[in-house]
Amino acid sequence: MSEAFEEIQNAPPPAANDFVAPAAPAVPALPAAPSALSARGPKKAKPVDALGQFFQDSDGKLSATRLVMILWVIGTFLIWSYISIKSVALVQLPSSVVDILGILLTGKVVQKFGETSPDSP
């Protein structure tokens, strides 16, 4: 055997106080629980309430733009799927329908940007 190995083998074991663990970092206190949380978990909104909130602007007013947008999207999907199922093939949407959907979605984005932009004096 080599001399280095014998030296390690014959060395006395380290004392218990030779190894000092570094101090643990301070853990910040947890913030108080929000009022929406209870012992049973977060409160869930009723589906009707969640749907009603979807159609409200940031001010709490009902948004006709959102209503028109969602009606066009759902209506287009339902009619497209019905025709596709009846013809047993995926039917191509007319470009005019795609244009209208694009205009509605763009209008909603522009309207939302106008709602959140600061008022100029």
Segments forming the whole domain that contains residue 70 = 45-115
* Confidence band for 47, pLDDT divided at 50, 70 and 90: low
CB 65 within 8 A of CB 108: yes
Helix (H, G, I), strand (E, B) or coil at 65: helix
Could you tell me the pTM of the whole model? 0.49
DSSP letter, residue 117: S
In a domain, residue 35? The reply is: no
Supply 83's token pair: 């025709």
In a domain, residue 40? The reply is: no
In a domain, residue 37? The reply is: no
CB atoms within 10 A of CB 17: 6
In a domain, residue 52? The reply is: yes
Residue-level length of the chain: 121
In a domain, residue 106? The reply is: yes
Count of domains forming the chain = 1
| pLDDT single digits (tens) 56-114 | 766 777 777 788 888 888 999 999 999 999 999 999 989 999 999 899 888 878 877 76
* Confidence band for 7, pLDDT divided at 50, 70 and 90: confident
Predicted local distance difference test score (pLDDT) of residue 120: 47
In a domain, residue 108? The reply is: yes
In a domain, residue 85? The reply is: yes
In a domain, residue 9? The reply is: no
What average pLDDT does the segment 22-26 reach? 64
The H or E element spanning position 98 is helix 95-116
